[in-house]
A and B are shown apart, each in its own frame.
Chain A
Amino acid sequence: MGKPRVAIFDFACCEGCQLQIANLDEDLLNLIELVEPVEWREAMSEKAGQIDVAIVEGSITRAEDEQRLKEIRQRAEILMALGSCATHGGVNKLRNRVPLEEAQRIVYGASAGMPHLQSGQVKAVHEVVPVDLKIYGCPIEITEFSRIIRELAAGRTPFVPNYPVCVECKLRENVCRYEYNEICLGPVTRAGCNARCPSNGMWCFGCRGPVDHPNINAAYDVMAKYGKTVEDLVGKLELFCSGEERIRG
C-alpha cells in the first residue's frame, strides 16, 4: 500500500489549528515521508479526488457548508475533526446563545439583511456527518497531532487521553488554580495538552472538552470546598462549549 493520501479542509474558524500543522516545520518534512498531502487550500493550489484521511477544521454554519462537508465525507475513508471548533463548536457556539437576527444586527447594523450575510446555527462536524477521529484543543497541540498522524500511518488506532487535565497538572507539580481563588476546568476537561494553561499561570478554559465520563460529583466537591457554585463552573464551560449539559447532569 502507498502512503495514505491526506487532505485538509477549513470551515468557520480562526485557522489556527492548520497553522499548527505548518508550525511543525522540520517535523512536517518527516510526516510527509509517511503520508502524502494532496489537498490543502491554505498551503497548496492542487485539488484531489478520493482521499484516505480528510482533516476537517472549523464549525459548520451555513447550508452550503453542510453540503461541502457531506461531499468531503463521501470522498474520505477516515474523517478527522481537528480542534475545538470542529470537535465541539468551540467559541463559535457562543453565538448560538444570541438569536441570529440580533447577532446580524449587532455586527452588520442596517446592512444585516443582505443575503450573503446569512448564517445558520453553529454546528460541530459530528452534528452534520459521522466523524471517525477527533483531535482536541484550541489550538491543537502539535506534538499530539504529529503522534496521531504517525499512528494512523502505521495502521494503529491512535491513543487519545480520557482522563482529566488534573492528572497532567499534578505530574507537573503545579499549585492548584483553586488555591488562587480561580475557577479551573481541569477536573472535568480531557487531558493531552500537558496542562498547558495551569502551567502558564492560568486556569484551564476547557478547550479540549470534557472527558467521556466526567466525575461530576468530585467536581461539585471541589467547587464546594473552595466556596464556588455550579453556576460559576457552567459559566466557564460555556466559553468553549465544553459540555455544559453533561455537567448539569
Chain B
Amino acid sequence: MAETVNIQVDHITRVEGHGNIVLRARDGHIEKLEWQVPEAPRFFEAMVKGRSWQDIQTVVSRICGICSVSHSLAALKAVEAAFGMEIPPQMQRLRLLCHYGEQLESHSLHLGYLVAPDLLGQKSVLPLIESHPDLVRAVMKAHSTGNRWMEVIGGRMTHPVRLKVGGFTKLPTEEELVSLRTLLEECLPALEVMADALHDLADRLPDFRRETEYVALVRPGEYTFYEGHIGSTDTEETVPPAQFEKVANEYVSPQSTAKWARWHRESYMVGALARFNLNGEYLLPRAAATASKLGLEKGNCNPYWNNIAQMVECVQVVEDGIRLIDALLEEGLDEQSRTVPVTPRDGEGAAAVEAPRGILFHRYRFDSRGFCIGANMCIPTNQNHANIQKDFEKLVPEILDRDQEEIRLMLEMLVRAYDPCISCSTHYLDVTFV
C-alpha cells in the first residue's frame, strides 16, 4: 500500500467546464478529499434582470452550449407560465422532438468522445480513430444525427433560433421531417454498434455502489423528458415544477463557485440513471431491450452506470422520435397553430425539463411590461455536486490501497460519469427576488 497518496487534478479534462479533484492521504488516513468547482462565475441571473421577455431565451441559452435546447425550453415554459399562456399540443410535440435531438447529441458526445477513451485506456478519442474505426464512425453518426435533428426543428445545432415564447418562428417542411425520419432510422444500427461496444467494456466500469436519492421528472405511463412533476426514489410524493425550491435546497460550499443541493438526504443524483430508476418501466421496446442486454435494472446505484443509462436513452429518444414524426406527418403540420400571441403581464412562472445531465429548473418574474425583475435557475450539475463528494467519501476508503494512478483515474471517471456541465452549474442559483 502506498504510504502517501497525493492527487491534485486541476481542471479535469474531458468534461464540460472546470473542476478539480483533491485527495491527500497518509498511512491509510484521508486528510483531504474534495471535489472543487473553480469555474469563473458568470452571474446569469444578474444578466437577465431588466431585459425584455423577448430576449430571455436568447440570453439563457448561452448558459450552456451543450444543453442550450434544454435551457431554451425551460425558459420558454417558465415565461409562458408567467404570462398564463397555453401552447397548442402539436407545437409542444415539436418542441419535445427538438429536445430529443439534444439528448442524442449530448449523450453520444459524452459516451463516444469523453468516456470511451477511459474504457479503452486512451487519453482522447484521437487514437481510437485508428484503433476502433467502426466505433468512432458509429459515434460520429449518432452525434451528427442529433445535431442535424436540432437544426431541422430548432434552426441551429447549438443555441436554437426557432424556439420562441408562444411557439415557433418557423416550422420544418414535411420533406424535412421525412428526411429526418430516414436519418433516425439510419442511426439505429450505429447505436447498436455503440451499445455492443459498451456491453463488451462494461466490466471496466468500477464495481462501486452507494445508495442515494434519485430525482427526475415523472409522468404516469411515460419515460418523460419535457413534462410532468418532480419525483424521487425516496418518496411517493411528487412536487409540481412551480415549487422546485422545495426539492433543490441549495447552499454555497466553500469548495465551489457553483451551489450544492439536498432534498431528503445529504445529497441526491439527477441524470440518465435517475430517470431510468424512476421511469425505466416506460421505455419503448427497443430501448428496453438495450437496457436488458446491457444488464441495467431499476434500483441500480452504481453512478458509473449513468453511462449505460445514457446509452439506453439514445435508443429511447430515436425510437420515440420516429414515432413522433410519424404522428406529425399523419396529422399534417398546422401553420395556424405555429405561434400564439403573447400578452406580457405582471407575473411569475417556473418550469422544469430534463436536460441530458438531469432535471433543470428555471423561474422568472416580470413587471407589467414584460421586463424581467427576478430570475432563478437551478442546474442539474449543481444538484449532483454534493452527490459526487459523497461518492468520493465512500469510494476512496475502498480503493485507497491501490496504485495512485489507478485511484486518480477512478475518481476522474466517476466525475465524468455524471457528465458534469460545469460552465452551466456555476453562476446562478438562489436568487433572492428583489
Q: Closest approach, in angstroms, between the C-beta of B264 and any C-beta of chain A? A: 23
Closest chain A residue to B48, Cβ basis: A94
Is B126 a contact partner of A16 (Cβ separation < 8 A)?
A: no
A98: contacting residue among B49, B162, B423, CB under 8 A: B49
Contact stretch, chosen from A36-44, A128-136, A221-229: A36-44
Query: For the complex, what is the distance from the CA of A139 to the CA of B62, rounded to whole Å?
Result: 9
Q: Is the CB of A201 within 8 A of B170?
A: yes
**A188-231 interface with B by 8 A CB criterion:** 196-197, 200-202, 205
Q: Which A residues lie within 8 Å of B62 (CB)?
A: 13-14, 16, 90-91, 138
* Contact status A45-B423, CB under 8 Å: no
A residues near B1, Cβ cutoff 8 Å: none
CB pair B126–A107 under 8 Å, yes or no, is no
User: Are B158 and A23 in contact, CB atoms less than 8 angstroms apart?
Assistant: yes
Bound Cα distance from A32 to B123, whole angstroms = 17
Q: For chain A residues 6-26, which have a beta carbon within 8 Å of chain B?
A: 11-20, 22-23, 25-26
Report which of A11, A37, A95, A202 forms a contact with B46, defined as CB distance below 8 A.
A95
Per the 8 Å Cβ criterion, residues 44-86 of B in contact with A are: 44-47, 49-51, 55, 58-59, 62-66, 68
- In the complex the two chains form, is A108's CB within 8 Å of B47's CB? no
Interface centre among B39, B50, B65, B254 (most CB of A within 10 A): B65
The yes or no answer to B283 lying at the interface (CB within 8 A) is no
Q: A22 to B47, Cβ gap below 8 A? A: no
Q: Interface range on chain A: under 10, 10 to 19, 20 to 34, or 35 or more?
A: 35 or more
Residue of B nearest to A14 (CB): B65
- Given A14-B63, A200-B169; A22-B113 close (CB under 8 Å): yes
CB distance from B105 to the nearest CB of A (A): 8
Interface string of B20-45 (1 = CB under 8 A from A): 00000000000000000011111111
Query: Are B40 and A62 touching (Cβ within 8 A)?
Result: yes
Q: How far is the CA of A189 from the CA of B146 in the complex (A)?
A: 30
Beta-carbon nearest neighbor of B429 in chain A = A107
A48-56, A114-122, A151-159, A165-173: which one contacts chain B?
A114-122
A239 at interface, CB cutoff 8 A = yes
Instruction: Tell me the bound Cα distance from A114 to B426 in angstroms.
Output: 14
* Contact for B158 among A20, A29, A91, A239, CB less than 8 A: A20
Chain B residue contacts of A18, Cβ below 8 A: 65
A102 to B124, CA, bound (A): 41
A114 to B257, CA, bound (A): 9
Interface residues of A in 35-91 (CB under 8 A from B): 37, 40-46, 61-62, 65, 90-91
Bound together, the chains give a CA A134 to CA B156 distance in angstroms of 21
Set of chain A residues within 8 Å of B168, measured between Cβ atoms? 201
Q: Contact partner of A29 among B49, B129, B157, B256, CB < 8 A?
A: B129
- Select from chain A the residue with minimum beta-carbon distance to B433: A106
Asked if B291 is at the interface (CB within 8 A of a chain A CB), the reply is: no
B164 to A106, Cβ gap below 8 A? Answer: no
Is B58 within 8 A of A205, CB to CB?
A: yes
Contact B126 A32 (CB under 8 A): yes
Q: Is B196 on the interface with A (CB-CB < 8 A)? A: no
Closest beta carbon of chain A to B340's beta carbon, Å: 15
Residues of B with C-beta under 8 A to A45: 13-14, 117, 123-124
Decide: A95 and B42 in contact? CB cutoff 8 A. yes
Does A105 belong to the interface (CB within 8 Å)? yes
Inter-chain contacts of B2 with A (CB < 8 A):
none
Give A25 to B58 CA distance when docked, in angstroms: 26
Which residues of chain B come closer than 8 Å to A22, judged between CB atoms? Answer: 109, 113, 143
Q: Which A-chain residue is minimally distant from B156 (CB atoms)?
A: A196
Cβ contact within 8 Å between A15 and B162 = no
Mark A residues whose CB is within 8 Å of B.
11-20, 22-23, 25-26, 29, 32, 37, 40-46, 61-62, 65, 90-92, 94-95, 97-98, 102-109, 111, 114, 116-117, 119, 138-139, 196-197, 200-202, 205, 239
The residues of B with any CB-CB pair to A shorter than 8 Å are: 11, 13-17, 38-47, 49-51, 55, 58-59, 62-66, 68, 109, 113-114, 117, 123-126, 129, 140, 143-144, 147, 155-159, 161-162, 164, 168-170, 252, 254, 256-257, 259, 423-424, 427-432, 434
Known interface pairs A16-B64, A22-B143, A201-B169; 10 further A-B residue pairs with C-beta atoms within 8 A, sorted by A's residue number: A12-B39, A12-B42, A19-B158, A23-B147, A40-B124, A61-B42, A94-B59, A107-B46, A201-B162, A202-B164
A selection of 8 A-B contacts at a CB cut-off of 8 Å is A19-B65, A29-B129, A43-B113, A43-B124, A106-B434, A108-B429, A117-B257, A200-B162
